[in-house]
């Protein structure tokens, strides 16, 4: 018997170009397990996107498996969603080439991430770096999703994806579902521990807490976290005046489920010396079960292989239905 209501489809991916960190977890990742109950979800490890920047091959393989294990440890049940490696589904690259031919040079040259990455990697401004929004559009459109979860820095990619889909549909009819951006439940926007004016990032490892990091290293980073040079030295949420302390309050609140006001009351009169280690301990305990489960999964390579193989098969089936339709529309002879 058919289901009375069919779930809406959602797709999202993260590059395995660096280890997952606290900002990834307290931002989008923690909310993904709830999304798999509400939507048909496809989560992929975007390894094709990583090579626009030079990667160490052994490190990329390690990080891809580690990221898969971390996803599962964070609550993404492979029985309830599709987990796969992007490069295992050839349709991503195949559709990307077709979409390259329906994406305008001017559109690509306006992409802010191209400008940012070109500035950071001036010795390697390659064609993939320029055209990767077409690959990102292929990643999305292959699965005919209703929604794509986006953060502030990804809105431009969903916009260009919608533009490409509409352009193609205007020529050939309704081939692609035009996805809507999905603003997920507000995850915490976690800032760097040693530079609270910048987002937490793997490019600044001393201010970044990684999901697989040892508890003693996490504690060291929190004890050294930048607070503020004010004279009152009280634990008070005021992002403009006290960005360092406010960031720590946000992290502690996200880890414990307490409100900012409750955190302020808890540490009233105690100063930063007591507060910083307490935040560190809360994060150690939040991440401990994830790290331990991910480490256990990494010792079971057979299981991880079965997950990404099954995921690739499911993704391949759906992606190829879209690709066949596209190939027919543009006039390629059927194989």
Q: How far apart are CA 88 and CA 23, in angstroms?
A: 27
Strand, coil or helix: what is 80? coil
Q: How far apart are CA 110 and CA 211, in angstroms?
A: 34
Q: What confidence tier does 3 reach under pLDDT thresholds 50, 70, 90?
A: very low
Residue 4 placed within a domain = no
For residue 293, is pLDDT > 70? Answer: yes
Indicate if 270 and 231 belong to the same structural domain: yes
In this prediction, residue 82 carries a pLDDT of 97
Residue 114 placed within a domain = yes
Residue 198 placed within a domain = no
CB under 8 Å to 99, separation ≥6 — which residues? Answer: 134, 135, 137, 138, 141, 164, 168
Neighbour count for residue 55 (Cβ, 10 Å): 16
What average pLDDT does the chain have?
Answer: 90
Indicate if 134 and 86 belong to the same structural domain: yes
CATH number at residue 237: 1.10.240.10
Give this prediction's pTM. 0.86
Higher pLDDT, 80 or 6: 80
Q: Pairing mode, if any, of strands 147-149 and 82-85?
A: unpaired
Residue 199 placed within a domain = no
Lowest-confidence pick of 28-37, 58-67, 89-98, 111-120: 111-120
Q: What confidence tier does 4 reach under pLDDT thresholds 50, 70, 90?
A: very low
Q: How far apart are CA 96 and CA 87, in angstroms?
A: 12
* Highest mean pLDDT pick, 16-25, 31-40, 233-242, 274-283: 274-283
In this prediction, residue 2 carries a pLDDT of 44
Mean pLDDT value across residues 98-102:
97
Q: How far apart are CA 162 and CA 146, in angstroms?
A: 12
Indicate if 232 and 255 belong to the same structural domain: yes
Residue 135 placed within a domain = yes
Indicate if 184 and 148 belong to the same structural domain: yes
Residue 3 placed within a domain = no
Indicate if 89 and 227 belong to the same structural domain: no
Residue 32 placed within a domain = yes
- Expressed in angstroms, the distance from the first to the final Cα of the chain is 34
Indicate if 135 and 219 belong to the same structural domain: no
pLDDT tens for 112-133 read: 777 777 777 778 788 888 899 9
Q: What confidence tier does 306 reach under pLDDT thresholds 50, 70, 90?
A: very high
How many domains in the chain? 2
CATH number at residue 325: 3.40.50.620
Indicate if 290 and 305 belong to the same structural domain: no
Indicate if 106 and 212 belong to the same structural domain: no
In this prediction, residue 135 carries a pLDDT of 95
Indicate if 13 and 145 belong to the same structural domain: yes
Q: Nearest Cα to 127, choosing from 143, 103, 161, 156?
A: 103
In this prediction, residue 184 carries a pLDDT of 62
Residue 210 placed within a domain = yes
Q: Nearest Cα to 195, choosing from 207, 183, 177, 205?
A: 207
Q: What confidence tier does 1 reach under pLDDT thresholds 50, 70, 90?
A: very low
pLDDT tens for 143-162 read: 999 999 876 666 777 899 99
pLDDT tens for 186-226 read: 566 899 999 998 888 887 888 999 999 999 999 999 999 98
Higher pLDDT, 154 or 282: 282
How far from chain centre, in Å, is Cα 115?
20
Indicate if 133 and 156 belong to the same structural domain: yes
- Domain housing 223: 205-295
Indicate if 153 and 233 belong to the same structural domain: no
Task: Give catalytic residue positions.
Answer: 117, 199, 202
Indicate if 139 and 180 belong to the same structural domain: yes
In this prediction, residue 187 carries a pLDDT of 61
Tracing tokens 């509409």 back to the chain, one arrives at: 166
pLDDT tens for 224-252 read: 998 877 666 788 898 888 899 999 999 99
pLDDT tens for 43-86 read: 999 999 999 888 999 999 999 999 999 999 999 999 999 999 99
């Amino acid at each position: 018997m058919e289901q009375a209501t069919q779930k809406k489809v959602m797709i999202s991916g993260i590059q395995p170009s660096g280890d997952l960190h606290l900002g990834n977890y307290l931002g989008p990742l923690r909310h993904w397990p709830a999304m798999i109950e509400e939507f048909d979800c496809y989560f992929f490890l975007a390894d094709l996107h990583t090579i626009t920047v030079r990667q160490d091959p052994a490190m990329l393989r390690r990080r891809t498996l580690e990221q898969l294990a971390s996803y599962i440890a964070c609550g993404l049940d492979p029985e309830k969603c599709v987990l796969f490696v992007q490069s295992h589904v050839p349709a991503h690259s195949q559709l990307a080439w077709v979409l390259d031919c329906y994406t305008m040079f001017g559109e690509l040259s306006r992409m802010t991430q191209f400008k940012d990455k070109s500035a950071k990697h001036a010795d390697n401004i390659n064609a993939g770096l320029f055209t990767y929004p077409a690959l990102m559009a292929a990643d999305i459109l292959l699965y005919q999703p209703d929604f794509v979860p986006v953060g502030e820095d990804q809105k431009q990619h969903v916009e260009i994806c919608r533009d490409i889909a509409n352009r193609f549909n205007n020529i050939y009819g309704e081939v692609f579902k035009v996805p809507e951006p999905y603003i997920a439940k507000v995850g915490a926007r976690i800032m760097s521990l040693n530079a609270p004016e910048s987002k937490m990032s793997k490019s600044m490892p001393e201010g970044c807490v990684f999901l697989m990091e040892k508890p003693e290293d996490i504690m060291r980073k929190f004890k050294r976290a930048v607070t503020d040079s004010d004279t009152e030295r009280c634990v008070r949420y005021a992002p403009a005046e006290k960005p360092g302390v406010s960031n720590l309050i946000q992290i502690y609140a996200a880890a414990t489920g307490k409100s900012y006001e409750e955190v302020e009351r808890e540490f009233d009169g105690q100063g930063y010396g007591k507060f910083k280690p307490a935040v560190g301990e809360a994060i150690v305990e939040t991440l401990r079960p994830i790290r331990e489960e991910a480490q256990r999964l990494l010792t079971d390579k057979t299981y991880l292989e079965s997950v990404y193989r099954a995921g690739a098969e499911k993704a391949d089936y759906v992606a190829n239905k879209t690709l066949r339709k596209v190939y027919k529309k543009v006039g390629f002879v059927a194989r």
